[in-house]
Structure 1
């Protein structure tokens, strides 16, 4: 029943592309930073509507004029560091696949935005993460991971989120433009419950209307597509973002502990993101690196994870 609901939801999202206004495709992989473990691959597709006052006002308590809705599909792969063994490594993260569908509503202005979201998905074999990773490793000549038979079982996941942010007016620096976006986000669900506070500084060749938000280390960061506008010629932007993410629950680790893994619960992470954005007409291509320092709760220890990504955004006429 739940799996059928997910399939129907994915089909609805796919067919909605016929009427797409702005679309974004994000590909992330840790091979870019010469790693291959834990959060190792992510793919995120986002559809964002244009401003449309005929939409039902899902955030009627917010007194902002612009209304948008968005849908996104998220897919992520998680593995332990040692993929040569076929048995469970109880001292490391288990194999897991994650797929989710997100529905979002926005109210915004030039400086403020509010985002409310609901998500449903699956963790487990339903995500086909094992097939995807094995094929990727085969194509590029990497060793095949041997432990996917031990991945976490199928589990239906769900959650809600709320995200709010503020962007400064652009500051002229000779022929360049500088702006700052700060946001705070809260998530409640059986996959992840926690809060995030972030800020991002952007230097660009022209003033940008879009919000340059600090998203979670794992996820689509749909807000970055809000208010995206084509440029009339080649333009660029450099941005640096930092965020603090406090965890209450995190399914992958909490479930692993329940199944006998010798792991510690997540406490918080501090993350950074550096990005180069290139614009030409309706197209935007971004290259970026993300890094997080991870702190656990009971054991005073920390670790660092990195991943690189490419994002493509297209604005339809």
Structure 2
């Protein structure tokens, strides 16, 4: 397959730097909306990840590597164990709520193939998980809220039902412009595009990210425009240390979302017992969505940390708020 030389040339020129880091990465990340004094919508996320050091791809994985298409790349496998939690705006209510977010939890694991280059970064993804009681969201939230003395959640009986939920995805970062700036720093504008397909979610998105800091060529791909786990430390590539601030915005078209549209037998049973039409508790997926992110990342050869803040438009048409936000914190170590 032939590629336009305008794509290959920058890959070849910067190929040496992409092999600078071969360490494995372990990271812990948390998202929570408590920073904004609320407990609603996407309210909490926990993620543990392990990313291998540099690998030489087997022939079966070779087409997933940027090196297959012309430029040397740093390739890795990433394994993630994650938990996401979604709740309505009034978690103390003991009855289902009309025109509000369904209770939902998602316990999942990700298998990612990462390929990194100073001019481009990409990730191929397979996600497998469960919703409903098997996701353990009710127990998790009650334990945390008992410790923090927060409101007790009383509506998990009406959550999205037990289901196996999976998806496959592709994410790409592509450098559009990177220029030298003051004090040995650079600034950069990149395009971030993503596509996902599966019964958990299916969507397509694209957006722009601005970054300013040090060694941007070596850490492209770690910061993402996503309100769920927006920083992926395993995608720090050919860099021995650095820092950067970042902000970005993206548009998305979502085709399906089990956390919004999933069956809820608990709601149906409640409605029938009370002589109601169960459909009054349904909400409608908002297909057109947008997300914004801002954050700061710092790391050295041994460890690092990242702070993020995100904002997004509603996932469903009946949402009582026009914007939802979360804060995020990530710690990671290289070894």
What interval of TM-score do these two structures reach, taking the shorter chain for normalisation? 0.7 to 0.9
Q: 1:205 to 1:107 in 2, by over 3 A?
A: closer
Is 1:201 matched up with 2:210?
yes
More off after superposition, 251-260 vs 94-103: 251-260
2:257 counterpart of 1:253: no
Looking at structure 2, the residues matched to 103 and 56 of structure 1 have their Cα atoms a distance apart, in angstroms, of: 18
Which structure 2 residues correspond to residues 171-182 of structure 1 after superposition, within 5 A? Answer: 171-175=179-183, 176-182=185-191
Q: Which runs of 4+ in 1 moved over 3 A?
A: 54-57, 205-208, 219-224, 256-259, 299-302
2:111 maps to 103
Q: State the structure with bigger RCO (CA 8 A, min sep 6), 1 or 2.
A: 2
d(CA) in 1 for partners of 2:62 and 2:310? 32
Q: What are the ranges of 5 or more consecutive residues in structure 2 without an aligned counterpart?
A: 1-22, 269-278
Aligned to 1:227: 237
Partner of 1:77: 85
In structure 2, what is the Cα distance between the partners aligned to 1:24 and 1:86? Answer: 37
User: Any idea what the Cα deviations from partners look like across 1:175-202, whole Å, max 9, x if unmatched?
Assistant: 1221233221110000100101122111
For 1:237 and 1:249, the matched residues in 2 are separated by 34
Shift of 1:308: 0.3
| CA distance, structure 2, for counterparts of residue 253 and residue 152 of structure 1 | 8
Asked if 1:49 corresponds to 2:68, the answer is no
| CA separation of 1:47 and 1:198: change in aligned 2, threshold 3 A | farther
TM-score (ref. length: structure 1)? 0.84
Larger Rg: 2
Q: Note the C-alpha offset of 1:220.
A: 6.0
Distance change in 2, residues 1:224/1:177 (3 Å) = farther
1:283 aligns with 2:303: yes
* 2:84 match: secondary structure: strand
Displacement, 1:246? 1.0
Question: C-alpha distance in 2, partners of 1:206/1:165?
Answer: 16
Deviation at 1:92, TM superposition (A): 1.1
- Tell whether the 8 Å contact from 1:65 to 1:107 is kept in structure 2 after alignment: no
1:292 aligns to what?
Answer: 312
Sort the Cα spacing of 1:269 and 1:228 in 2 relative to 1 into closer, same or farther, 3 A. Answer: farther
* Corresponding residue to 1:58 among 58, 61, 64: 61
SS of match in other structure, 1:266: coil
Q: For 1:212-254, what per-residue CA distance to the aligned partner results, in whole angstroms no more than 9, with x for missing partners? A: 44343224654862416332xxx53211111111101111212
- The size of the alignment, in residue pairs, is 294
Q: How does 1:1-317 map to 2 (within 5 A)?
A: 21-53=24-56, 55-60=58-63, 62-63=68-69, 64-66=71-73, 67-168=75-176, 170-175=178-183, 176-212=185-221, 213-219=223-229, 222=232, 225-227=235-237, 229-231=239-241, 235-255=242-262, 260=279, 261-294=281-314, 303-316=322-335
Alpha-carbon RMSD across the aligned residues, in angstroms, is 2.6
The CA distance in 1 between the partners of 2:100 and 2:304, in whole Å, is 38
Distance apart, 1:104 and its partner CA: 1.3
Please give the alpha-carbon distance, in whole angstroms, between the structure 1 residues aligned to 2:180 and 2:29.
Answer: 30
d(CA) in 2 for partners of 1:126, 1:295: 23
In structure 2, relative to structure 1, the CA distance for the partners of 1:71 and 1:220 (3 Å cut) is: farther
CA distance in 1, matches of 2:285, 2:264: 8
Q: Is the 8 A contact 2:233 2:332 kept in 1?
A: no
Q: Structure 2: how far apart are the matches of 1:197 and 1:161?
A: 14
